[in-house]
Structure 1
Amino acid sequence: MRVINIHKRIINQSEKEVSQLFKTLATSNDLVWPYENWPAIRFRDGLQVGSKGGHGRIRYTIIELTSGNHIKFQFSKPEGFVGTHQLRIVAVNDNKTEISHHIEAKSSLKATFFWVFVIRWLHDALIEDAFDKVENYYLATKKVTRYNLWVKLLREVYKRKPFQIKHA
């Protein structure tokens, strides 16, 4: 199956401002990744091309990087996923920036089943949490995207598994 999954959000800040947040990805002061509620994103050799890492059970290698603006990863796990995902920021105008996350992959039959019933749901919730975190950095009244019932159930099941998911 061909998997395409795209998330976008407009942040009411300049590209320069949002770029500074993106430079903190996978650091001890990460202002992008929602590690408070999800497995942290980590890389063996930091943010550089060739560095291997991931989050939870998902593993990948950084294959492209423009500091603060674009990072592209090649999946290595879960098995059966062949493709990439990327985070990108692009100026809409002087005071607005679009942040996006894009997955493009092919999946085996087993991986397709896992994507349709598990990964996609958790992935979508995680990315919306990340986008909330970026947007909330600039807001006085914080935005919170609520999980649907299926995501809540999956989080309960997986918090009992080898990787730990903390409650929101």
Structure 2
Amino acid sequence: MVLNVHERRLAAPAARAGALIDSLAGQDDRLWPHDRWPAMRFDRPLQVGAEGGHGPVRYRVEHYRPGTRVRFRFRAPAGFDGYHEYEVRPLGDGGCVLRHSLVMSTRPPAWLTWPLVFRPLHDALLEDSLDKAELSLGAGPRPPRRWSVRVRLLRSLASAVSR
């Protein structure tokens, strides 16, 4: 079983962070780091039943509670059985936590592709997403995160293969 969680404490009300979730794959997407990664796209606006994904990762919107949570059920790549989701949880101090969770079991070929290829890319993408959330909520500009050598190598290889 794979449980991969990325979260960021934000100095903003949960409703403002929830609006970032609602903007996913829209014209004014303020959460997905589409400036550095393949854009998240769907066959219709964000809603239950919308199908799409980013790059080679495909999924279907399984659950959506505006301003609070969206869950995506994997359809590809092969061997990914589970979901990923964004959710916002309010904190007592007026801030909130924005969390992304990936929960899945793997079967071949994902036994190899998840740890060797997808996990390092996923981890870098999610940290970029949470950085974008902070920036969108007024935390101030910060330089783009420097990816690890492994992530830069995998992105170069993926770029060469897609040509």
Structure 1 position 147 matched with structure 2 position 147:
yes
Q: Match of 2:109, as an amino acid?
A: K
Structure 1 residue 74 displacement after superposition: 0.7
Q: Match of 1:84, as an amino acid?
A: Y
Structure 1 position 42 matched with structure 2 position 41:
yes
Provide the aligned C-alpha RMSD in A: 1.4
Q: How many residues align?
A: 162
Moved more, 28-37 or 17-26: 17-26
Structure 1 residue 24 displacement after superposition: 1.1
Report 1:1-168 matches (<5 A).
2-137=1-136, 138-142=138-142, 144-162=144-162
Q: Match of 2:155, as an amino acid?
A: R
Q: Match of 1:37, as an amino acid?
A: R
Asked if structure 2 preserves the Cα contact closer than 8 Å seen for 1:89 and 1:100, the reply is: yes
**Percent same amino acid among aligned pairs?**
33
Runs of 4+ in 1 over 3 A off after TM superposition: none
Partner SS, residue 10 of structure 1: strand
Q: Match of 2:139, as an amino acid?
A: L
TM-score by length of 1: 0.91
Structure 1 residue 143 displacement after superposition: 5.3
Gaps of 5+ in 1: 164-168
Gaps of 5+ in 2: none
Asked if structure 1 preserves the Cα contact closer than 8 Å seen for 2:10 and 2:96, the reply is: yes
